[in-house]
Structure 1
Amino acid sequence: MKHFIKGFLFGTVATVGAVAGAALSFKKKVVEPIEDEEEKFEENRKRAARKSRSAHH
Protein backbone atom coordinates (compact mmCIF):
# COMPACT_ATOMS: atom_id res chain seq x y z
CA MET A 1 0.00 0.00 0.00
CA LYS A 2 2.90 2.37 0.76
CA HIS A 3 4.30 1.96 -2.75
CA PHE A 4 0.93 2.70 -4.29
CA ILE A 5 0.52 5.91 -2.28
CA LYS A 6 4.06 7.06 -3.09
CA GLY A 7 3.54 6.30 -6.78
CA PHE A 8 0.17 8.02 -6.82
CA LEU A 9 1.55 11.15 -5.16
CA PHE A 10 4.56 11.23 -7.49
CA GLY A 11 2.28 10.82 -10.51
CA THR A 12 0.02 13.60 -9.28
CA VAL A 13 2.94 15.95 -8.70
CA ALA A 14 4.42 15.11 -12.10
CA THR A 15 1.09 15.71 -13.83
CA VAL A 16 0.56 19.04 -12.08
CA GLY A 17 4.10 20.04 -13.04
CA ALA A 18 3.52 19.11 -16.67
CA VAL A 19 0.27 21.06 -16.82
CA ALA A 20 1.90 24.11 -15.21
CA GLY A 21 4.80 23.90 -17.68
CA ALA A 22 2.41 23.67 -20.60
CA ALA A 23 0.43 26.66 -19.35
CA LEU A 24 3.57 28.77 -18.92
CA SER A 25 4.84 27.74 -22.34
CA PHE A 26 1.50 28.65 -23.94
CA LYS A 27 1.57 32.04 -22.23
CA LYS A 28 5.13 32.73 -23.46
CA LYS A 29 4.53 31.56 -27.04
CA VAL A 30 0.97 32.79 -27.68
CA VAL A 31 -0.34 35.30 -25.14
CA GLU A 32 2.69 37.55 -24.63
CA PRO A 33 3.34 38.17 -28.37
CA ILE A 34 -0.32 39.18 -28.80
CA GLU A 35 -0.10 41.54 -25.80
CA ASP A 36 3.14 43.03 -27.16
CA GLU A 37 1.53 43.62 -30.55
CA GLU A 38 -1.49 45.29 -28.97
CA GLU A 39 0.84 47.48 -26.91
CA LYS A 40 2.70 48.55 -30.07
CA PHE A 41 -0.59 49.40 -31.81
CA GLU A 42 -1.68 51.46 -28.80
CA GLU A 43 1.64 53.32 -28.71
CA ASN A 44 1.42 54.05 -32.44
CA ARG A 45 -2.15 55.30 -32.03
CA LYS A 46 -1.07 57.65 -29.22
CA ARG A 47 1.90 58.86 -31.25
CA ALA A 48 -0.31 59.54 -34.29
CA ALA A 49 -2.80 61.46 -32.15
CA ARG A 50 -0.03 63.64 -30.69
CA LYS A 51 1.39 64.26 -34.16
CA SER A 52 -2.03 65.16 -35.54
CA ARG A 53 -2.72 67.62 -32.71
CA SER A 54 0.66 69.32 -33.05
CA ALA A 55 0.27 69.61 -36.84
CA HIS A 56 -3.03 71.49 -36.45
CA HIS A 57 -1.81 74.03 -33.90
Structure 2
Amino acid sequence: MAVVDGEGEAGLLELEDDEPLEDEPEESFDAEVPLAEEPESFGLASARASFR
Protein backbone atom coordinates (compact mmCIF):
# COMPACT_ATOMS: atom_id res chain seq x y z
CA MET A 1 0.00 0.00 0.00
CA ALA A 2 1.67 3.18 -1.17
CA VAL A 3 1.31 6.04 1.26
CA VAL A 4 2.18 9.38 -0.31
CA ASP A 5 2.67 12.27 2.13
CA GLY A 6 0.58 15.32 1.26
CA GLU A 7 -1.48 13.45 -1.35
CA GLY A 8 -4.51 11.99 0.39
CA GLU A 9 -6.22 11.78 -2.99
CA ALA A 10 -3.74 9.11 -4.08
CA GLY A 11 -5.24 6.79 -1.45
CA LEU A 12 -8.73 7.40 -2.83
CA LEU A 13 -7.51 6.71 -6.36
CA GLU A 14 -5.95 3.45 -5.19
CA LEU A 15 -9.30 2.36 -3.75
CA GLU A 16 -10.92 3.07 -7.12
CA ASP A 17 -8.13 1.16 -8.86
CA ASP A 18 -8.79 -1.88 -6.65
CA GLU A 19 -12.06 -2.47 -8.51
CA PRO A 20 -10.46 -3.06 -11.95
CA LEU A 21 -7.63 -4.93 -10.21
CA GLU A 22 -10.18 -7.63 -9.35
CA ASP A 23 -9.63 -8.93 -12.89
CA GLU A 24 -5.86 -9.14 -12.32
CA PRO A 25 -5.75 -11.57 -9.35
CA GLU A 26 -6.53 -14.36 -11.81
CA GLU A 27 -3.31 -13.48 -13.64
CA SER A 28 -1.41 -13.25 -10.35
CA PHE A 29 -2.70 -16.71 -9.45
CA ASP A 30 -1.32 -18.01 -12.75
CA ALA A 31 2.01 -16.43 -11.83
CA GLU A 32 1.90 -18.03 -8.36
CA VAL A 33 1.08 -21.52 -9.65
CA PRO A 34 4.60 -22.19 -11.02
CA LEU A 35 6.02 -20.90 -7.72
CA ALA A 36 3.81 -23.38 -5.87
CA GLU A 37 4.96 -26.22 -8.13
CA GLU A 38 8.67 -25.46 -7.74
CA PRO A 39 8.88 -26.46 -4.05
CA GLU A 40 7.15 -29.74 -4.93
CA SER A 41 9.69 -30.46 -7.66
CA PHE A 42 12.48 -29.65 -5.22
CA GLY A 43 10.84 -31.97 -2.70
CA LEU A 44 10.69 -34.77 -5.27
CA ALA A 45 14.32 -34.18 -6.21
CA SER A 46 15.42 -34.35 -2.57
CA ALA A 47 13.25 -37.44 -2.03
CA ARG A 48 14.82 -39.18 -5.03
CA ALA A 49 18.28 -38.16 -3.80
CA SER A 50 17.53 -39.69 -0.38
CA PHE A 51 16.57 -43.01 -2.02
CA ARG A 52 19.88 -43.17 -3.90
Query: What interval of TM-score do these two structures reach, taking the shorter chain for normalisation?
Result: 0.5 to 0.7
1:36 aligned onto 2:36: yes
| Greater fraction helix | 1
Give 1:37 shift. 1.6
Which whole-Å CA distance do the structure 2 matches of 1:47 and 1:35 have between them?
A: 19
1:23 aligned onto 2:24: yes
TM-score, normalising length: structure 1: 0.50
Between the aligned residues of both structures, percent identity stands at 11
Q: 3-state DSSP class of the match of 1:45?
A: helix
Which protein has the larger Cα radius of gyration, Structure 1 or Structure 2? 1
Alignment coverage as a number of residue pairs: 38
After superposition, give the CA deviation of every residue in 1:3-32 in whole Å (9 maximum; x if it has no partner): xxxxxxxxx443x1213x23322112x122
The root-mean-square deviation of aligned C-alpha atoms, in Å, is 1.8
TM-score, normalising length: structure 2: 0.53
Q: 3-state DSSP class of the match of 1:22?
A: coil
Give structure 1 stretches of 5+ with no counterpart.
1-11, 53-57
Which whole-Å CA distance do the structure 1 matches of 2:23 and 2:33 have between them?
A: 16
